[in-house]
Amino acid sequence: MKNVRIIGLGSPHGDDTFGWVVVDLLQRQIVPESVELVVLDRPGAALLSYLQDADHIWVIDAADMGEVPGTLHQMDAVQLLREPRLASITSHGIGLIETLQLADACQITLPPIHVFLVQLAHLESDQPLSPAVQLSAETLAADIRDLFTSD
C-alpha cells in the first residue's frame, strides 16, 4: 500500500482521545515511510485539507452509536454518509460527516477514505480511556500494523 495518511481525530475528553491513542501506538511501532500519521484536535472544516493529497486516507475516531463501549466499526466514506445512527457523530461543530458533505458540495474529489469508529463510554475531561476503549485502541493499532507488515 502506498501513500496512506492515517488521521486520529479527537479531543482531550475521555474516550474521545481514541484516535490519538491509536496513532500514538502506531508511532511507537515501525510503519513504512509511505504512511503519514496525523493527530487532529477538533479540526472543523480544516479537516478537508487533510483528506486530500494521499492515495488512501484512514480516519480513526470515537462516536456515540448507542452500542456497547469498545465496539469497533470499519466503513468507507460512502457507508458513513448513509449510516443514520451517525448523522451527527461529532460534538465538534463541523466533523467528519459534515466535511465529507462539504467536499461533495464543492465537487472536490477525495481519495478512498476508510473510517474506523469506536463506541465511546465517557467524555469526562482529563480522564484516560475506559478499559473497553483502550482494548479496542490496542487491537486496532495491532491490526493496522499487521496490514503493513503483511504487504
For the chain, what are the domain ranges? Answer: 4-149
CATH number of 4-149: 3.40.50.1450
Q: What is the mean pLDDT of residues 130-141?
A: 97
Q: Which helix (H) or strand (E) holds 47?
A: helix 47-50
Mean pLDDT of the residues in the chain: 90
Indicate whether 125 pLDDT > 90.
Answer: no
Indicate whether 10 pLDDT > 80.
Answer: yes
Q: What is the mean pLDDT of residues 91-96?
A: 68
Residue 48 and residue 95: Cα distance in Å, rounded? 10
Indicate whether 39 pLDDT > 90.
Answer: yes
Q: What is the mean pLDDT of residues 80-109?
A: 78
